Amino acid sequence: MNRVLYHRLFPFLVILLTSLAVHAQQAPSEATNIRISPDEKTRRLVIQYDLLSVQPGDSLYVEIETASGRHLRPISVSGNVGKAITAGRNKTIYWDIVRDKIQLDEEVEVIIRLVRGVNVTRPATAAKPKPPVPAPVVSVQKKSPLPIIGWIATGGLAAYTFVLASGLNKDVDAYNQKTVANTLAEWNTAEDKRKDIDSRRGTVTIVAGATAALLIANIVYTVVRKSNQNSKPNQLRTAWQIRPASQSMGVGLVHTF
């Protein structure tokens, strides 16, 4: 429906704009000798003009001013319009009135405006000062209290093991001196003493084992710590390594030479 309406309206617009070609206004620019003619084949309005000179950054656009005071900016324009313009005679702009869906039933004026580009000269700026060289960061490595605590714990367990072992040896010697029980009560007393000695012997074994394990751990930690201190920064030469196996987990101490 709209296409039929514009098809019927176009001849009327052509007659109207052709009759008003003399009203094509020369804008306050260097566009002169503005002429308007219809192109019935392509159903476009042809606007021709002369442009004396063009500078970099210039742009040109078209405006339509109606007798009632409306100002329209055509959108469907092509040719020597916009920013990609050149100077010369008989420059052409094509306006597709049907595509823009503009209805004109009054006198109009075609205005061509040339907008000059503005060249802004930037003032010279001083070079940015170089940032000051940061002072070297001196890191102070605090000594860990872990070795001291480990050796103190080892000494305490060793002393405790010695006390337990000394008391156990005295009870064992006293038990061995009574080899014969004359009564049932003496036999029961000797049996209770033997069970107590066996229990205390197990305790001494556990404490002695813990002391030995802690001693080995302290020695290994001391060696690893000294080796890492002698190596390059951020490079650990000795480290614990955990590798999963098929049915177990392997833990080992790896040292890089």
The model's confidence at residue 142, banded by pLDDT at 50, 70 and 90, is low
Q: What pLDDT is recorded for position 92?
A: 94
- Class of residue 114 by CB neighbours under 10 A (exposed 0-12, middle 13-18, buried 19+): buried
Pairing of strands 108-115, 25-26: parallel
101 pLDDT band (50/70/90 cuts)?
confident
Percent of the chain with pLDDT over 90: 10
User: What are the tens digits of pLDDT across the range 56-72?
Assistant: 888 898 998 888 888 88
The pLDDT-based confidence of 5 (bands split at 50, 70, 90) is very low
Dihedral angle of Cα 53, 61, 104, 11, to the nearest 10 degrees: 60
Question: Average pLDDT of 83-93?
Answer: 92
What is the distance between the terminal CA atoms of the chain, rounded to a whole angstrom?
Answer: 91
Q: Which range among 27-31, 115-119, 134-138 shows the weakest confidence by mean pLDDT?
A: 27-31
Q: pLDDT grade, residue 80 (50/70/90)?
A: very high
Mean pLDDT of 134-161: 71
Indicate if the pLDDT at residue 251 is higher than 70: no
With a CB cutoff of 8 Å and minimum separation 6, the contacts of 81 are: 60, 61, 62, 93
Give the Å distances, CA to CA, from 144 to 35, 38, 141, 217.
94, 95, 9, 15
Share of the chain above pLDDT 70, in %: 65
Alpha-carbon distance values, 123 to 14, 56, 67, 250 (Å): 53, 21, 48, 71
Q: Which of 24-33, 170-179, 189-198, 224-233 has the lowest mean pLDDT?
A: 24-33
The residue that leads in pLDDT, 147 or 14, is 147
Confidence of residue 220 (pLDDT cuts 50, 70, 90): confident
pLDDT band, very low/low/confident/very high, at 77 (cuts 50, 70, 90): very high
Q: Would you say how long the chain is, in residues? A: 257
- Tokens found for residue 145: 């209290």
- pLDDT at site 256: 57
Q: Output the CA angle 185-186-192, nearest 5 degrees.
A: 90
User: What average pLDDT does range 210-219 have in this prediction?
Assistant: 83
**Residue 108 pLDDT more than 90?**
no
Q: Whole-angstrom Cα distance, residue 248 to residue 52?
A: 91
The arithmetic mean of pLDDT across residues 170-197, rounded, is 75
Please classify residue 50 by burial: count the beta carbons closer than 10 Å to its beta carbon, then call 0-12 exposed, 13-18 middle and 19+ buried.
middle
Residue 131 has pLDDT above 50, yes or no: yes
